[in-house]
Structure 1
């Protein structure tokens, strides 16, 4: 949008547009109110527009009249602005209406496919589901597929979070952590008995505990947010955190309305 790159160009366009409406009673204070700028700024811009030959005025006061040169400029700038707006809208429409998924099997262009969640990831296949989409291009199994016209609701159960609070290094760290308890929680699953899908750690002591118990860590950075996001996608998360870090997990989980259980991991 080259027409508006120069400083004040957009303000010039707005002032010229208002003057082009040929309102003989248009005052500088009216322009200031409409454009959300000061009367002084309007006065300075009008002076510039007069010097450039875009408008005429007697003694720099109303009534203002737009010249043919000014009309041509407004038309050029309006076309430039419209092209830019059209390109933005096209990008936004493309962004909003095309979604990625993993192809559960070979899919053909224009096929209507069922959508389902597995391990927190969206999949598409030929079977009937409550949610559907249309395939945009031929796609092989296990590849990413572009979908449009998504309709319906994707069947998905919100997961749970089990948060184990571990002692700080000042309190003894792993030396006073109840390793057997942590292992049992992992093996027995959530409070409702569902298996643990992902392990999250926050803090050095949490990482050491996971290493000692040979737990595969899935989430380590921005763990509270990632834990809530994973649970929202149907995954059950065991989160190991140290001291006051528990508060961050609670805030995120409550914000996302995720069921959670806090366990003291000290001996």
Structure 2
């Protein structure tokens, strides 16, 4: 997720946030004290914000007023920051005292194991990995095993998404879909994007379901498609979604917000 990537973007956000409070006698000195920066730094940033039409000021002095463009930017940056914070908190929640994983082989209490992701599932085995933990109790192969004292990082490459757009029912529905194109994508066409395999298939809309049924595609995502797709890709899985008309707009926006790679293929005849 990209957040305040440009130099000074966080300071701009903070200054805009202070100005948006509409304090009538807000001075550069006040902003500097609140943000822990120099008055000169505040002055330079305010000049940039005025040039970008995010705030207005008479002769570059107080009182400062935030513009509609500035309000929109603050809202957008605040949402981005919130999502980033939520992701950090979610990650921190993983650092708990006990972790569950699937035993890749028989494991004994007290043994140190390596952790790795495979097909979106966390496994523990005796093979050495970048991440490791201690086994809390005996577990047979295939059982859930309790782990503690986790150290290191679990190697995980974010998956990709292929979105196949289909005709709406008013455009002819499945009868106007390019089945040969979809079948090729389903079987091997995804390799041109460096994708080794498709792990999950999803549908958005009734026409998409009809197309999937005709091709015997194993659908595993048909509800909460956007959130389910993002969750799958974050576990290293690649997803192919059949979407009718403009149904993919929400999905595309969420993928872009999460910096997840995707490709769109038009499957209209």
Give 1:152-163 correspondences, 5 Å limit. 152-163=152-163
TM-score under structure 2 length normalisation:
0.62
Aligned to 1:255: 257
Question: Deviation at 1:194?
Answer: 2.2
What's the offset of the Cα at 1:252?
Answer: 1.9
Alpha-carbon deviation of 1:226?
A: 0.9
Q: Which has the larger radius of gyration?
A: 1
| Correspondence 1:120 to 2:120 | yes
Deviation at 1:94, TM superposition (A): 11
Paired residue for 1:141? 141
C-alpha distance in 2 between matches for 1:95 and 1:228: 21
Matches within 5 A, 1:161-240: 161-188=161-188, 189-190=190-191, 191-240=193-242
Q: 1:176 to 1:144 in 2, by over 3 A?
A: same
Structure 1 residues 94 and 265: CA distance shift in structure 2, 3 A: closer
How much does 1:227 deviate? 1.1
Question: Equivalent residue of 1:185, what SS?
Answer: helix
Contact 1:131 1:152 in 2 (8 A): yes
Residue 155 of structure 1: CA displacement? 1.3
Unaligned runs of 5+ in 2: 1-92
Between the aligned partners of 2:113 and 2:125, the Cα distance in structure 1 is: 5
CA RMSD, Structure 1 to Structure 2 (Å)? 1.9
Q: Secondary structure at the match of 2:256?
A: helix
Query: 1:153 and 1:231 mapped to 2: Cα distance?
Result: 18
Structure 1 equivalent of residue 102 of structure 2:
102
1:201: how far off?
Answer: 1.0
**Within 1, Cα distance between the matches of 2:150 and 2:199?**
27
Decide whether the 8 Å contact of 1:232 with 1:256 is kept in 2.
Answer: no
2:210, 2:98 → 1: CA distance?
42
Structure 1 residue runs without a partner (length 5+)? 1-92
TM-score, structure 1 length as denominator?
A: 0.63
- How far apart are the structure 2 equivalents of 1:94 and 1:155? 15
